[in-house]
Amino acid sequence: MANEIATKMVTGKVRLSYANIWEPKENDQGQLKYSCALLIPKTDKETLRKIKSIVDALKAEASTKYRGKLPANFKLPLHDGDEEKPEDENYAGHYFLNAYANTKPGIAKPIGKEADGRTKFQEITDTTEVYSGCYAKVSINFYLYDNKSKGIGVGLNNIVKVQDGESLAGRSSINDDFASEDFDIDLDGDEEEDFLN
């Protein structure tokens, strides 16, 4: 096809939310999927421009398919965090997309440069290193879907972590919980009274 739409792109620095990227979770249709919400700052005009360009091209393709008019319930992938999640301060000032994959995405971090100047990557296998709240650049692709609903979906390809961030999982750290506690650590291993027996 000579004028095939390029639907794959890499985002700028986004924040990961609802990052189900290590193990798949069952969706509403009973399918196991990897997934992640990508929080895109409204100031990242370049990433938003790329998304708009692809979405506009797919909308035009869909419009042709549906005889010149998109269905009334046609779903678009980009959402306004200020409007759709006003109760969540992490979404304030961001757009977001939900990306999905049938297979585990590649997860890595940059570790320097190759001799030819290209970035070198190291695979991340520690599941605590990439989490909801950290920052990454993400490879995604857009596609049209037409099943029970119709619209434009987002495929999740690869994730490259670029920065830590405050966890969005709602779980506090050990250091935070016990920062003001004093522990008398007995390094001699003396027997202590067992209060459980």
Domains annotated for the chain, with CATH where assigned, are 8-177 (2.40.50.140)
By mean pLDDT, which of 58-62, 80-84, 188-192 is the weakest? 188-192
Give the C-alpha distances (Å, rounded to integers) separating 31 from 1, 80, 103, 106: 32, 27, 12, 20
At position 4, the amino acid (one-letter code) is: E
Residues in the chain: 197
Contacts of 132 (CB under 8 A, 6+ apart): 16, 17, 18, 19, 167, 168, 169
| Helix residue ranges per DSSP H, 22-93 | 45-65, 81-84
**Partners of 25 in the β-ladder:** 33
| Residue for token pair 């005889």 | 67
Checking if the pLDDT of 93 tops 80, the result is yes
| Cα torsion 164, 168, 173, 179: sign | positive
How high does pLDDT run on average in the chain?
88
Please tell me the number of Cα atoms within 13 Å of 159 on its side-chain side: 32
At residue 44 the predicted structure's pLDDT band, cuts being 50, 70 and 90, is very high
pLDDT (0 to 100) of residue 100: 97
Tell me the pTM: 0.82
Percent of the chain at pLDDT > 70 equals 85
For residues 66-91, give the mean pLDDT: 93
The DSSP letter of residue 90 is G
pLDDT (0 to 100) of residue 21: 97
pLDDT (0 to 100) of residue 1: 37
The neighbour count for residue 98, using CB atoms within 10 Å, is 15
Residues 107/121, Cβ–Cβ less than 8 Å: no
Checking if the pLDDT of 134 tops 80, the result is yes
| 146-178 residue pLDDT tens | 888 899 999 999 999 999 999 987 555 555 666
Is the pLDDT higher at 181 or at 14? 14
- Work out the angle at residue 19's Cα, subtended by the Cα atoms of residues 169 and 139, and round it to the nearest 5 degrees: 145
At position 97, the amino acid (one-letter code) is: L
